[in-house]
């Protein structure tokens, strides 16, 4: 496991007004954690905010929520500064799914800042902006000095909990490909499989296909392109509308190809691999199709023929920085 991949992966949410504080915290923690601010390309095209947050919940150890006095509420006849509702909503999603202990509130020490009473069980860490200053006009360097003590407390709190994410480095990733290759090389009686072509599922499966092709240099590669279906919230292959898959299926009909190996990097439930296998068996019914994944969750075990490693918690792959 590399030093970089061993860091805690944290999601940071704020209002637009509190974004500079969030960026200052991200910079201050850059050597201690991988902090992903909500503006860092976390949302995919055609993806809703809620769906993006649900995806983040699968790969992070916790969340930092910057609550700044952006709105005004009336409480018992008194007007008080209050944080933005959407940040409270996002924090509720995290706390409800990961537990209150994995959500940390960071807030300015502002007189009368009104927090919803439901937040009483969540850790709160304050920072101080000089009385004659405004966080919106301070430089990031100055803001970093203001939030530095709060960041120390945040990391002390975060590191007191075990990581909920399995961090897989590139060296281990390649090692898992070698493990699968060793299983494939066994005799058929011992559970091995001799294949004529490797079919990589986009996008992580393409890398796996490349790794296996380096181990089996005389075996060609094909690609099936998985498109995100926002309605069913799954990856779909949908030929013939997908022209890449249409071309791939034409190739796979070649009589010289009799045995296919379909590969992916991480299988949570095995749904994507199963759908790819169904598409292939329908398009080329006279072929043998087997599947492989470098990493799989127990729920997907029955759907996959070859697995490099089984894990029972969320996985952060070496591609996490690119996936952002």
For the chain, which residues make up each domain, given as ranges?
8-161, 167-323
Q: Do the domains 167-323 and 8-161 match in fold?
A: yes
CA gyration radius, the chain:
24
> Which residues on neighbouring strands pair with residue 82, listed in sequence order?
71
* Phi, psi of 264, deg, nearest 5: -140, 170
Burial of 253 by CB count in 10 Å (0-12 exposed, 13-18 middle, 19+ buried)? exposed
| CATH number for the domain formed by residue range(s) 8-161 | 3.40.50.10140
pLDDT at residue 229 in the model: 57
Contact 126, 108 (CB under 8 A): yes
DSSP three-state, residue 175? helix
Report how far residue 324's alpha carbon sits from residue 320's, in angstroms, rounded to the nearest whole number. 6
Contact 13, 26 (CB under 8 A): no
Provide the pairing of β-strand 123-127 with 103-108.
parallel
CA-closest candidate to residue 178, choices 218, 215, 217, 219:
215
Report how far residue 143's alpha carbon sits from residue 253's, in angstroms, rounded to the nearest whole number. 61
Burial of 111 by CB count in 10 Å (0-12 exposed, 13-18 middle, 19+ buried)? exposed
pLDDT at residue 6 in the model: 65
* Phi, psi of 173, deg, nearest 5: -55, -45
Provide the pairing of β-strand 71-75 with 78-82.
antiparallel
Report how far residue 280's alpha carbon sits from residue 290's, in angstroms, rounded to the nearest whole number. 10
Contact 9, 36 (CB under 8 A): yes
pLDDT at residue 105 in the model: 92
Instruction: Compute CA distances 73 → 70, 80, 84, whole Å.
Output: 10, 5, 10
Contact 107, 118 (CB under 8 A): no
Report how far residue 152's alpha carbon sits from residue 28's, in angstroms, rounded to the nearest whole number. 9
Report how far residue 150's alpha carbon sits from residue 125's, in angstroms, rounded to the nearest whole number. 6
CA-closest candidate to residue 234, choices 290, 208, 273:
273
Contact 314, 267 (CB under 8 A): no
Sign of CA dihedral 197, 202, 206, 209: negative
pLDDT along the chain (324 residues), means of 10: 61 92 95 88 56 75 91 83 89 86 90 78 89 86 95 92 82 94 94 96 92 96 79 59 84 96 90 90 94 90 87 77 51
H helix runs in 105-242, sequence order: 140-158, 170-184, 204-215
Specify whether domain 167-323 bears CATH 3.40.50.2020.
Answer: yes
């Amino acid at each position: 496991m590399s030093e970089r991949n061993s860091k805690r992966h944290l999601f940071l949410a704020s209002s637009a007004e509190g974004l500079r504080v969030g960026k200052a915290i991200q910079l201050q923690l850059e050597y201690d954690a991988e902090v992903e601010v909500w503006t860092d390309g976390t949302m995919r095209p055609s993806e809703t905010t809620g769906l993006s947050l649900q995806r983040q919940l699968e790969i992070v150890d916790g969340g930092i929520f910057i609550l700044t006095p952006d709105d005004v509420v009336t409480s018992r006849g008194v007007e008080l500064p209050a944080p933005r509702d959407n940040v409270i909503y996002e924090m509720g999603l995290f706390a409800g799914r990961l537990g209150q202990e994995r959500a940390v509130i960071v807030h300015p020490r502002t007189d009368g800042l009104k927090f919803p009473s439901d937040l009483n069980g969540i850790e709160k860490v304050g920072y101080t902006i000089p009385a004659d200053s405004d966080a919106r006009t301070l430089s990031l360097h100055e803001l970093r000095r203001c939030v530095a003590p709060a960041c120390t407390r945040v990391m002390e709190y975060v590191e007191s909990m075990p990581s909920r994410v399995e961090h897989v480095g590139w060296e281990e990733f390649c090692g898992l490909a070698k493990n699968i290759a060793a299983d494939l090389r066994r005799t058929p009686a011992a559970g091995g499989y001799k294949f004529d072509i490797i079919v990589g599922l986009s996008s992580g499966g393409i890398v796996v296909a490349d790794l296996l092709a380096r181990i089996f240099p005389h075996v060609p590669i094909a690609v099936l392109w998985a498109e995100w279906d926002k309605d069913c919230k799954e990856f779909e292959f949908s030929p013939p509308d997908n022209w890449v898959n249409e071309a791939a299926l034409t190739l796979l009909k070649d009589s010289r190809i009799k045995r296919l190996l379909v590969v992916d990097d991480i299988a949570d439930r095995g749904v994507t691999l199963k759908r790819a296998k169904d598409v292939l068996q329908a398009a080329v019914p006279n072929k043998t199709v087997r599947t492989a994944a470098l990493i799989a969750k127990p729920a997907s075990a029955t759907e996959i023929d070859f697995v490099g490693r089984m894990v029972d918690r969320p996985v952060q792959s070496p591609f996490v920085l690119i996936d952002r």
